[in-house]
Chains A and B, each alone.
Chain A
Amino acid sequence: MTDATAPDGTRGRGAGGARGHGAEPEGLPDYVRGGRDGLGEAELAELERTWQSPPGFLAWFTHVNHTNIGRRFIITSLVFFALAGLLALAMRLQLAQPLNDVLGPEAYNQVMTVHGTAMMFLFAIPAMEGAAIYLAPLMVGARDMAFPRLNAFGYYVYLIGGTVFFLSLPFGLAPDAGWFNYVPLSSKEFSAGYGIDVWTTMITFIEVSALTAAVELIVTILKLRAPGMSLDRMPIFVWAVLVMSFMILFAMPSVIVASALLMMDRLVDTAFFDAALGGSPLLWQHLFWFFGHPEVYIILVPALGIVTSIVVTFTRRSVFGYAALVLAIVGIGMVSFGLWVHHMYTTGLPLMGRSFFMAASAMIAIPSGVQVYCWIATMWGARVRFATPMLFVLGFFAIFIAGGLTGVMVASVPFDRQVHDSYFVVAHFHYVLVGGSVFPLLAGLYYWFPKATGRMMSERAGRWSCGLVFVGFNLAFFPMHQLGLEGMPRRVYTYLPETGWTLLNQLATAGSAILALGFAITLANAALSLRRGAPAGDDPWDGPTLEWATTSPPLNCNFARQAVVQSGNPVWDRRRAEVSAHVGGLRTDRRETIVTTVLDARPHAVQVLPGPTPWPFVSALVASAAFLGLIFTPWAYVLGFFAAFVTFVLWFWPRRPWRED
């Protein structure tokens, strides 16, 4: 069946200023006029009503569409990024002079701990999850994620947990034992008060949200792909998200166990980490780093996917070495579980153990190298468009490779024992994390902002921002290598004038100011472009993957008709052949998306998805209360268990009319 009469649907939604979510009550919104993908106007209008997230403040708590939830994850994580960034500025201000008194030692410890913890748990992971939640369903051509309500639940858990964690700072209850919270410093004997309890309970709680996102991304990617999108046609970004999700699945339980054991040590006097009673402080380090090292790659892997997407689009070429890239990403995911002990070289390990983990740590350079060469080969001889997303990607190359080089250095035991706990390590991991995740995230922000809002961001401001971030970052963190080699320990709140570290610290502080200015420009750019940006149209960058096949911002239902794909670059195919293939026969009066087989994506069923509901929010509130209670009494565990159970029953209870066919 063909329908050649339909218009080709290149009209963007942002152009008319039509906001996709909930603004249109009855009459036909602009963007459904004339239908789309061969679907008629009236049917598309009904489909859009079915998938609408209801407007209004109270209704906000019932939204379940992945575009709404993904956007919230990203915005919330950027707020935490800004707050944790301000804390970093406070630390740099304190260190600008020897014996400075901007922050006292207690305040400095709290600020440092909250900065590190928030950047890792409240910014980096949720930002990547948010990008994945927003983009992965669009890229695989699904109408929504497999478990929309769980998605909403995960968001509220993150929002509440993150807010409580941050509020501990103004209330003076903030944790102060560093982001990895080592025992015995964090045990009750040396850290009385509630600070560490806030850390253990809230981190455990927020990881629940990471785990729900991971399960949901895995199932969405494996089961809801558009027909024809076999695994070897999946965009690299989606592969990266899949690997990230599996890593979360197997890494997060370890930190949950660790913090649960510490919680019990502090709350009911168990002795897991108490050496006097047969416990072992090193057990904490093993459990924490068995999570903590994969964590770094959980942040990095999706960033690699973002980089690949951008390199492909801005060179207008299929990626070089698709299979090698996928294997490299999977390889990084696997090897990252085998090198946690390189954080513990100074704890007195047997020689054999040290050698093993030294080799494993160096080995990760191999798949990383494969990727870099694939990107270089993709760009080789191509006419690269140097727009802002591509500029941030180039910044990523420079900074991440520098961080990778120091990584190979600290992977070696003798060198590591020299610089352990010094500013060299601070420099190294900021190069890897900021280079490896913040640069790609900003690149992704400039790249996908038009898709999410229907408006372009300013190129001019983007270039300024990119330049300032790059210069500011290097000025802030490069001197720290030297400071570390000169012996400046990390986490000290001040230093003496005789040490001779003043100049390098002042350079770093100046750099951090420039870096902050660069970030502020992007923030302002995004805020202003939301209203004033040039209309983007469906596909401003000429991208190859399915998110560019729908309107900007995406329809409530994502796609008027789901696509059937024949290659890894469906949108390019479509344009070349002047033909687009679709799925027909899905109902428009309820939320339906097609289910396909795991390997070949042959269609085999249809999933009926739930609409807006307040229960995930209620469940998240109850679970939050239970976790907060755990700071004070173990009985919160029992109470919270049954209270949460009641809300889950209400959440899942079948409601009439049952979904009869």
Chain B
Amino acid sequence: MEHRIEVDAAELSRFAPHDHPLWWGILGAVAIEAAVVANLLTSYFYLAAQAEAWPPDGVDPPALLWPTLVLFVLPLSSLTMWWAGKGSDAGRRRQLALGVTASVGLASLALVFRSIQIAEFDIRWDEHAYGSILWAVTGFHYTHVVSAIVGTAVVAVLAWRGYFTPERQLGVVVDTLYWYFVAGVFLPIYLVLYWAPRLL
């Protein structure tokens, strides 16, 4: 048997942060979580359709002020993430470190708003199925913001220590991808939790 070398891998990139298998892996994680959100929101409508009144009589829909603020803060934090990534691509380490730190700060602010708003809910989780699903969806997204924050905090620590280079920045790229998801998925959650009970 004759053996031929038809592809030489010596010159191929070992980094490829924007097209790395891990990038695809994070996309898979995003798909799973999106499916979880879809299941939760479908359950919300299923329970709403079965209920006589939604929200139940005497319960106000959650206030709009705080969640609407979050709706703007989270995309803003995505913008700083994007800006950080631009810096990382160009090898500007300071821009990267500042950008991810700003994102962590903004998302923490969003958490504060979310916490105030949760404290203002007009119903507990154990009083009615409406309260249960409201708290569950809110808690689910809250957990995701927390995990995005702590994950990005680690990226920020590494960034300030100068670990990342334009080649070695896979961590930044995949963290950003996940961040966009956490910020983006708030839109359908916002529409369902805060507008659906007003419009249905």
**A578 contacts the other chain (Cβ, under 8 Å)?**
yes
* Residues 223-265 of chain A, each 1 if its beta carbon lies under 8 Å from chain B, else 0: 1100100000000000000000000011011101100010011
In the complex, besides A4-B3, A586-B10, A605-B12, 17 extra interface pairs with C-beta distance below 8 angstroms are A215-B25, A219-B24, A257-B36, A257-B39, A274-B129, A283-B47, A286-B46, A578-B1, A581-B5, A582-B6, A585-B12, A604-B12, A605-B19, A607-B14, A608-B14, A641-B143, A649-B154
Residues 265-297 (chain A) with a chain B CB within 8 angstroms: 265, 268-272, 274, 277-280, 283, 286-287, 290
Minimum C-beta distance from A297 to chain B (A):
17
**B92 contacts the other chain (Cβ, under 8 Å)?**
no
B158 in contact with A272 (CB, 8 Å):
no
Minimum C-beta distance from A557 to chain B (A):
14
Residues 178-232 (chain A) with a chain B CB within 8 angstroms: 211, 214-216, 218-220, 222-224, 227
Of the four ranges (under 10, 10 to 19, 20 to 34, 35 or more), the interface on chain A belongs to 35 or more
**Complex alpha-carbon distance, A160 and B31, angstroms:** 26
Main secondary structure of the interface of A (DSSP, over half): mixed
A270 in contact with B135 (CB, 8 Å):
yes
Q: Return chain B residues, CB-CB under 8 Å to A256.
A: 36
B24 in contact with A223 (CB, 8 Å):
yes
A603 in contact with B12 (CB, 8 Å):
yes
**A499 contacts the other chain (Cβ, under 8 Å)?**
no
A584 in contact with B36 (CB, 8 Å):
no
Q: Return chain A residues, CB-CB under 8 Å to B24.
A: 146, 218-219, 222-223
**A539 contacts the other chain (Cβ, under 8 Å)?**
no
- List 12 interface pairs A-B (beta carbons < 8 Å), by A numbering: A219-B28, A220-B21, A253-B38, A256-B36, A261-B136, A268-B125, A272-B136, A278-B56, A283-B47, A584-B10, A605-B14, A605-B15
A272 in contact with B43 (CB, 8 Å):
yes
Residue of B nearest to A248 (CB): B32
Residues 545-581 (chain A) with a chain B CB within 8 angstroms: 561, 564, 574, 578-581
**Complex alpha-carbon distance, A605 and B14, angstroms:** 6
Measuring CB to CB, which residues of chain A are less than 8 angstroms from any residue of chain B?
Answer: 1-4, 6, 8-9, 37-38, 146-147, 150, 211, 214-216, 218-220, 222-224, 227, 249-250, 252-254, 256-257, 261, 264-265, 268-272, 274, 277-280, 283, 286-287, 290, 561, 564, 574, 578-586, 592, 594-595, 603-608, 641-642, 645, 649, 652, 654, 658-659, 661
Minimum C-beta distance from B97 to chain A (A):
16
B7 in contact with A603 (CB, 8 Å):
yes
Q: How many A-B residue pairs have CB under 8 A?
A: 213
> Which 10 residue pairs spanning A and B have beta carbons closest together?
A38-B3, A585-B10, A215-B28, A584-B5, A8-B1, A270-B132, A253-B35, A278-B129, A279-B129, A605-B16
* Residues 148-169 of chain B, each 1 if its beta carbon lies under 8 Å from chain A, else 0: 0011001000100001000110
- Of the candidates A37, A220, A277, A564, the one whose C-beta lies within 8 Å of that of B129 is A277
B128 in contact with A271 (CB, 8 Å):
yes
Q: Return chain B residues, CB-CB under 8 Å to A252.
A: 32
- Of the candidates A38, A147, A642, A645, the one whose C-beta lies within 8 Å of that of B25 is A147
Residue of B nearest to A214 (CB): B28
**Complex alpha-carbon distance, A287 and B135, angstroms:** 19
Residues 106-150 (chain B) with a chain A CB within 8 angstroms: 125-133, 135-136, 143, 146-147, 150
A2 in contact with B2 (CB, 8 Å):
yes
**Complex alpha-carbon distance, A277 and B130, angstroms:** 9
B9 in contact with A603 (CB, 8 Å):
yes
**Complex alpha-carbon distance, A280 and B24, angstroms:** 37
Q: Return chain A residues, CB-CB under 8 Å to B56.
A: 278
**B63 contacts the other chain (Cβ, under 8 Å)?**
no
B2 in contact with A4 (CB, 8 Å):
yes
B130 in contact with A581 (CB, 8 Å):
no
Q: Return chain B residues, CB-CB under 8 Å to A585.
A: 5, 7-12
Q: Return chain B residues, CB-CB under 8 Å to A649.
A: 154
A654 in contact with B128 (CB, 8 Å):
no
Residue of A nearest to B55 (CB): A278
- Of the candidates A224, A564, A592, A658, the one whose C-beta lies within 8 Å of that of B6 is A564
**Complex alpha-carbon distance, A641 and B144, angstroms:** 11
Given A249-B28, A264-B136, A272-B132: A582 and B158 interface contact (C-beta under 8 Å): no
**Listed residue (B7, B14, B28, B125) with the most chain A CB atoms within 10 angstroms of its CB:** B7
**B187 contacts the other chain (Cβ, under 8 Å)?**
no
- Of the candidates B5, B36, B40, the one whose C-beta lies within 8 Å of that of A38 is B5
A2 in contact with B3 (CB, 8 Å):
yes
**B22 contacts the other chain (Cβ, under 8 Å)?**
yes
Given A216-B25, A257-B40, A264-B136: A269 and B12 interface contact (C-beta under 8 Å): no
B129 in contact with A272 (CB, 8 Å):
yes
**Listed residue (A287, A579, A584) with the most chain B CB atoms within 10 angstroms of its CB:** A584
- Of the candidates A283, A286, A580, the one whose C-beta lies within 8 Å of that of B1 is A580
